[in-house]
Amino acid sequence: MTSDFYRLTATEVLQKTTAGDLTVQDYATSLLQRIKARDEAVQAWAYLDAEYVMEQAKALDALPSAERGPLHGVAIAVKDVIFTKDMPTQFNSPVYTGHAPKVDAGSIMILRKSGALILGKTCTTEFAATTVGPKTKNPHDSSRTPGGSSSGSGAAIGDFQAPIGLGTQTGGSVIRPGSYNGIYAYKPTWNSVTREGQKIYALILDTLGFYARSVRDLELIADTFAIFDDVPAPIDFNVKGPKFAYLKTMVWPNVGSGTSNAMDQAVALLRAHGAEVEETFLPEELNDLPAWHATVLASEGRAAFLPEYTTAKDKISQQLIGHVENSDKITRKAQLEAFDKISAARPVVDEILSKYAAVLTPSVPDEAPLGIERTGSAAFCLIWTALHTPVVNVPGFQGENSMPIGISLVAPRYHDRHLLAVCQKVGEIFEAEGGWKSAV
């Protein structure tokens, strides 16, 4: 007998378990039934042990109320580049087939102590570093990519197979799947969440991020990871009155009609609800930000993948081999110049962003492209990863093929809770009036 508990947000799960209206076992059963029914179409999971899920659920139900954590029973989908002591961590690489280190990543330690139900490991591109898609398909159209590299986490949350997902972003690997799967995606300020115990690609870029179907759930996760601003976020932000901006950025020529129309629609909706919205620009001297990001990515990748290159070169992709062998193409001088120029750009961009409640910018060029062989373009995401700013993909719009398209809202570094408060109200408008609704 099936139930629709799988459709609950994390916040709703907590309300029901706290009130005694739902057991974790009944909730887990509903999720597992959903996964079984949809797995062939979506294929979000790299590893999932139903028996172990139910063991966790039973143990959580047995806890006295006083010992239950703030995430009691909330199911978490974990990207398979993050260590979990009781599940394999295989990085979608033949080098690590069956690899099962008996240790939790720092993030998983926090989630377990908070009472979360660790559901399973979700599919990723190889080491979260290539653009070749895994087996995962977009839940809204199985002929299209769910994005990457956090492919499985984005698809699982978009398909109601879990309420919260963990992803990682070095270019656009959290925000892009958020847009393609029609869900909220949150890339916090860089280094505000521990990355201990996950595969590193570029240490000064990698950021642990989160997927959810509501901003309230993202706020719940931000509480769990102690992400707070210096100045408390507004308790009840009102769109009417505050000033917003929209920013096309230097990669606007890559935009498609779907995202272009979504940007126009987003601006019009905010204005209709009483917000002031103006266009803003980045200084021309920052036009090379994408190139600087590419230099950092490639040069950081030398160290990141040298172990696998040294021990199992024949088992890793040419893209990763290229990172290790690029020393004749990217000099240390060029590497340092890119590091320093991005560092100098961060306070400049923070100052621009600080003038507004939030700045709207594209998440992706357009709706998810056809085919799962490639994961789509990160062109619009990567500059914000380099700049270390918090970013939230807000869903609500659609492209020519009725596939979801999100808009990114950005804020200065360490203004995460302010940004989430703004996205709560903006999201209500975009979801209600943007035109896209999930049919899954």
- Would you mind telling me the total number of residues written for the chain in this entry? 440
**Do the Cβ atoms of 200 and 129 come closer than 8 Å?**
no
DSSP 260-295: HHHHHHHHHHHHHTT-EEEE----GGGTTHHHHHHH
209 Cβ neighbours under 8 A, 6+ residues apart: 150, 166, 167, 168, 169, 174, 175, 185, 186, 187, 188
* Rounded distance between C-alpha atoms, residue 310 and residue 313, angstroms: 6
Q: How far is CA 301 from CA 99, 175, 243, in A?
A: 22, 21, 40
Point out the catalytic residue in the list 93, 107, 114, 173.
173
Task: Characterize the bridge pairing of strands 207-212 and 164-169.
Answer: antiparallel
Q: Which helix (H) or strand (E) holds 394?
A: strand 391-398
Cβ burial, residue 319 (10 Å; 0-12/13-18/19+) = middle
Q: Is 272 exposed, middle or buried (0-12, 13-18, 19+ CB in 10 A)?
A: exposed
- The answer to whether 396 touches 167, Cβ cutoff 8 Å, is no
**Is 79 annotated in the active site?**
yes
> Is 173 an annotated catalytic residue?
yes
For the question of residue 149 being annotated catalytic, the response is yes
Hey, is 100 helix, strand or coil?
Answer: coil
- The contacts of residue 299 (CB under 8 Å, 6+ apart) are 326, 330, 334, 335, 338
Q: Answer left, alpha or beta for residue 91, where phi above 0 means left and psi between -120 and 50 means alpha.
A: left
Beta bridge partners of 389: none
Which of 79, 121, 199, 248 is an active site residue? 79
Cβ–Cβ under 8 Å, residues 225 and 193: yes
Among residues 30, 107, 149, 377, the one annotated as catalytic is 149
CB atoms within 10 A of CB 264: 12
Catalytic residues: 79, 149, 173
